[in-house]
């Protein structure tokens, strides 16, 4: 049977502080040209002392829910990046969600980097945790310094 998913909300959070390659040139023996030629990076974001992985996840998820016109209570499942159990528990607590609303598989695979959200989503589907019309939040982050989230409505396309 064909499956269809509709993206109904999206959000992101990026720390305000920016560290440029020119800033790095003043700190270490490097150059903007060297960094760009090897990485493509011109600037990166630096989290403030009060910005944690879980606080940034909450902001990104909140933005995605707002765009979708939903409340956290409307969400059946959160499929987060599987960085570590401490971050996942902290995010669940900050979102005031019971741990069972978070799909967690970090205990079986460790941090699988960019593949962690798709792997977790595949497992949630294989385990029958999603049904037609469910709202779920997918949350990913990069190096703990930026977060993005999307709200999906899961379904077969048949109502």
Of all residues in the chain, what percent carry a pLDDT higher than 70? 92
Query: For residue 84, is it within any domain?
Result: yes
Q: 42 in a domain, yes or no?
A: no
Q: What is the pLDDT of residues 87-117, one digit of tens each?
A: 888 888 888 889 899 999 999 988 888 888 9
Can you give the residue range of the structural domain that contains 95? 4-14+51-155
55 close to 81: Cβ distance less than 8 angstroms: no
The reply to whether 45 falls in a domain is no
What's the CATH code of the domain at 130? Answer: 3.40.47.10
- Number of structural domains in the chain: 1
Contact 7, 138 (CB under 8 A): no
Angle among Cα 121, 104, 118 to the nearest 5 degrees reads 25
Q: Is residue 107 domain-resident?
A: yes
Tokens 């989230």 correspond to 149
Residue 137 lies in a domain: yes
Q: What is the mean pLDDT of residues 66-90?
A: 90
Judge whether 33 lies within some domain.
no
Q: Is residue 91 part of a domain?
A: yes
Q: Within a domain: residue 38? A: no
Element of type H or E holding 58: helix 53-68
What is the model's pTM? 0.76
**Lookup: tokens for 118:** 């798709």
Which tens digit of pLDDT belongs to each residue from 119-128?
A: 999 999 999 9
| Measured distance CA(46)–CA(40) in Å, rounded | 18
């Amino acid at each position: 049977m064909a499956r269809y998913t509709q993206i109904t909300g999206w959000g992101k959070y990026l720390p305000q502080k920016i560290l440029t390659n020119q800033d790095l040139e003043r700190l270490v023996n490097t150059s903007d040209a060297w960094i760009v030629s090897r990485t493509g990076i011109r600037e990166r974001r630096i989290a403030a002392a009060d910005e944690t992985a879980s606080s940034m996840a909450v902001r990104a998820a909140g933005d995605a829910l707002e765009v979708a016109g939903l409340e956290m209570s409307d969400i059946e499942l959160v499929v987060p990046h599987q960085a570590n159990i401490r971050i996942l528990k902290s995010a669940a607590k900050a979102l005031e969600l019971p741990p069972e609303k978070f799909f967690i598989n970090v205990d079986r695979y460790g941090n699988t980097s960019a593949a962690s959200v798709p792997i977790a989503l595949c497992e949630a589907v294989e385990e029958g945790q999603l049904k037609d019309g469910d709202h779920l939040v997918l949350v990913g982050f990069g190096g703990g310094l930026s977060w993005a989230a999307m709200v999906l409505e899961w379904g077969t396309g048949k109502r």
